[in-house]
Amino acid sequence: MLILPLAALPFPQIDPVLIEIGPLAIRWYGLGYVIGILFAWWYGKRLIANQRLWGSDGPPMRAADLDDFVVWAAAGVVLGGRIGYILFYDFARYLDNPLAILAVWQGGMSFHGGFLGTTLAMILFARSRGIAPWRLFDVISAGVPVGLGLVRVTNFINSELWGRTSDVPWAFVFPNGGPEPRHPSQLYEAALEGLILFFVLRVLTHRFGALRAPGRVAGAFVAGYGVSRIIVEFFREPDAHIGYLAGGWLTMGMVLSVPMVLVGLWVFARARPRVPDKEAA
């Protein structure tokens, strides 16, 4: 153990604050969320504009609908993510200090909470516009992994949510993670639930006509994220105030992700094209 720090990679000195003007500070963490939401909006509009992806029925919504949904999505991500973190991960601390709930710039966002918040926002918005909810789920899900990957990279920049101690050649000694080298689990997540999941969904939409089967893309996204998260949890250090739930390996992230895998697989399996391509032609 004494020689492990010598083999670790130097942690990059990147200021978590991108720009600071007086009391106003723009952080990489917040910028990751903004770019992720804007990318999902832009990419969703590209999908809607591509008639070939939808078959004879055509796209189920207008590009203008996604313009209006951006605000709903932002509210669902931020409110759901914050409330989810409070309830799932650190309820006691926020109960003792309720004002800390507002300090979102200090971190403390839960993907599972953001997922639930955004899902609720999509259901309400779809009903208000007469859009089939599964269709909206599919369009939004296709672009979400990019934002997830960006936020995980900013977790790395913030030196938070680091991994378990390790002697792998690519381990880092995180500034606030103690002297031991650790897995850069944030980057593992960025690759799995960001880059790889995005390209898997891209293949489904552009090679296998998944958008013609309502729910298929959404199901693949939910199951894919759940599997990615469970894999990375084996390398990620659990929250200190929660620790392992059982067996020295089971974490809260795993517990919250298992239902996502099961529900995602069920949604994917039940999705059927509304009109078979050949019959429609």
pLDDT over 50 (residue 1): no
pLDDT tens-place string over residues 73-84: 888 888 888 887
Compute the half-sphere exposure of residue 3: CA atoms within 13 Å on the CB side of its CA: 2
> According to the model, what pLDDT value does residue 280 have?
45
pLDDT tens-place string over residues 153-183: 999 999 999 999 999 999 999 998 899 999 9
> 265 with 219: CB under 8 angstroms?
yes
Q: Is 18 helix (H, G, I), strand (E, B) or coil?
A: strand
At 102, is the pLDDT very low, low, confident or very high (cuts 50, 70, 90)? low
pLDDT tens-place string over residues 216-260: 999 999 999 999 999 999 999 998 778 899 988 999 889 989 999
> According to the model, what pLDDT value does residue 7 have?
60
* Model confidence, pTM: 0.85
> 170 with 187: CB under 8 angstroms?
no
> According to the model, what pLDDT value does residue 173 have?
95
Compute the half-sphere exposure of residue 136: CA atoms within 13 Å on the CB side of its CA: 27
- In this structure, of 60-69, 92-101, 128-137, the range with the lowest mean pLDDT score is 92-101
> According to the model, what pLDDT value does residue 4 have?
46
| Strand pairing class (17-21; 24-27) | antiparallel
Residues 141-151 have a mean pLDDT of 95
Q: What are phi and psi of 235, to 5 degrees?
A: -110, -10
Residues 120-148 have a mean pLDDT of 95
User: What radius of gyration, in Å, describes the C-alpha atoms of the chain?
Assistant: 20
pLDDT tens-place string over residues 189-225: 999 999 999 999 999 999 999 999 999 999 999 999 9
